[in-house]
Chains A and B, each alone.
Chain A
Amino acid sequence: MARAATTSDAFNAVAEPRRRQILDVLVGGERPVNDLVDVLGLAQPQVSKHLRVLREAGVVEVRGDGRRRLYRLNGGALKPIHDWLQSYERLWSERFERLDLVLEDLKQTEGDVGDDK
């Protein structure tokens, strides 16, 4: 199933390592730009550029607080990514549920495998 390759979707927003780093910082709560500049060790224009992409995708939100602009994470915008991964996760969960059954059988037939090393 092909995903739309628009510049403003959440997939594109998190495709860039620096932007994921910004999100990692914002998981801890709302932060002003200066904090992000410090943590990432990038120049402010670069940080602002990444923040703009994240904002356009709705992944972060901004509000003014006096002269400062505070950025915060909007987890709901990441839901498409979560959903995308979930189907793949379900496939492996189903395999592993069956593997559990195989292991139960092996435990019966192999007995104390832990002791015969």
Chain B
Amino acid sequence: MTSSQTAIVTLPTDEQILITREFDAPKQLVYKAWTTPELVKRWWNAKRGEVTICEIDLRVGGLWRWVQMAHDEFEVAFHGEYREIVPNERIVSTEIYEGMPEEEAVTTVSFSEVEGCTILTLLVQHTSKAFRDAHVDSGMEAGLQDALDLLEEVAVSLR
């Protein structure tokens, strides 16, 4: 059975974004899907274009870099460094969006298990409200792009 919950996004402080979601799987598996490049490539794209690069050097001080060819048109790239790793429990890393390299956010992803289900929380700590807002704005742009894609599909179907 696949859970059909949506992600819940809240803004606990002016500099933070908190994303929460429950998964119908034990936390070892969610952790594995989050830290294995071949698996990340299968979900992080969100149907919005191929993940072309997924590098994960999972150790403190190790680097990660995930690149997506968004809508097959432009590259969206993120990279950072692992700060803390507690297997199956928590990963803390820095995160730099390469389109806005002047800011380094800190991301904490936590996995907790309740009766075989995993509650995943992703806390993004930005250095200012302006960068936090820009980050959420990026979702707005993605949403707009979705709408344009849909419009194009509809237009093509009318031809």
List residues of chain A with CB under 8 Å of any chain B CB.
1-3, 15, 17, 84-104, 106-107, 110, 113-114
Contacts and interface: CB of A to CB of B under 8 A. Distances in A.
B150 interface: no
A96 B139 contact: no
Given A1-B137, A113-B29, A94 B143 contact: no
B157 interface: no
Interface of B: 2-9, 11, 14, 17, 19, 21, 23-26, 28-30, 32-33, 39, 42-48, 116, 122, 129, 133, 135-144, 146
Nearest to B88: A117
Contact of A89 (B9, B32, B122): B9
A contact face: mostly helix, strand, loop, or mixed: helix
A95 B32 contact: no
B24 A103 contact: yes
A98 B139 contact: no
A87 B33 contact: no
